[in-house]
A = this chain, B = another copy of it.
C-alpha cells in the first residue's frame, strides 16, 4: 500500500512550538486571546512546517467518517454475534456505521486488518481482548485512532475496555463444581496462546483447584480450537483415562455442546455419568439437551456500552475508562452434585 505524504497537522505545530493544540487553534483563529510571545512561537512553527490551516480543516472534516471498525476472532459459532449485533444497533442509533473483520484468531491478520480499517477511514476500533503486540497499540496511538477493548476488562485505563473478569468468573464456576463434591475434574480449554480470554479462564479453574488443596498434576487439560467437533474429540480422549472424570469443564459453550452431543452418541449420560459446564451462555447453551450450566455473559449490555464508550472517545466527550460487567453462573441440567 503506498504511504501518503505526511501533511503537517495541528499536533505537529503544537509539538514544534511546545504548546497545546488548543493554543495553536487560538493563534490561528482568536489572536487577541494569546500573548504576543506565544503567537510568534506558534506562527514560526506554522511557517517552518508549511502548515495550511484551511487544508487541514477540510482534511479533519473529511476524516470523521462515522464508520467504526470491529475485528472479532471468528464469525463462526456465534460466540461474538449477540454482543456485536447490540454494538451495531447502538452505533446506528448514534449515526455510526459498523464494518467488521474476522481475524481467525491470527494476530498477524488482525494487525493487517487494523491497518486496513484505519486506511479505509475508520473513526475508531473495537478489538476483542487485550493481548497483542505493543507495536499494534503504538500504531493506533500514533494514528490517534480511539480504540476500545471488549470481552476483557483491564485493571488500569491505559486502554479503554468493556468486559468482565474471565479468570474470576471461571474460578467461581469451578468453586461451585468442587462444592458439589466433584474431585475428578477434566478441562477442555481453548488454545490459550494469543487468546487472553481462554488463558484467563484456564487460570480460573487452576486457581480454584489449587485453593482447594489439589495438585495441578491431577487436573487433565486439553487445549483445542473452539469448534463443536473439537469438544467432542477431546471428550472421547478424556474418557479413555484410567481415572474417569466426573465433570468436564469447557472453555466455552461451543466445546461443551460438542461434549454433550458426543456423550449421547456413545451412550454416556449427562449429567448422571458425567457433568458438563460451559462459558458464555450463547443461545446454544439453552437449547442443547440437557441444557448447559455455564457462565452468563451479558453480551447485549457489553455491546451497547462498548458502542457508547467508543463514540464518547471518538467525540472526545470522555476519557479512557474501564467498564467491568458482572457475570453470573447459570445452573442448568448438565451439572449435578455427586
Contact = CB atoms under 8 A, between A and B. Distances in A.
Best-buried of A82, A89, A98, A112 by chain B (most CB within 10 Å) = A98
Given A81-B76, A228-B287, A284-B284, A113 B97 contact: yes
A325 to B, nearest CB: 20
A100 interface: yes
A221 to B, nearest CB: 24
Contacts of A75: 75, 81, 84-85, 88, 100
Best-buried of A75, A76, A77, A81 by chain B (most CB within 10 Å) = A75
A76 B78 contact: yes
A267 B283 CA distance: 21
A302 to B, nearest CB: 15
B97 A99 contact: no
A121 interface: yes
Nearest to A257: B287
Contacts of A84: 75, 102
Contacts of A69: 99
A38 interface: no
Main secondary structure, interface of A, reads helix
Contacts of A81: 75-78, 81
Contacts of A89: 104
Contact of A82 (B76, B88, B116, B288): B76
Interface in A286-317: 286-289
A195 interface: no
A193 to B, nearest CB: 21
A252 to B, nearest CB: 14
B116 A67 contact: yes
Given A76-B82, A78-B77, A99 B99 contact: yes
Interface in A216-262: 228, 257-258, 260-261
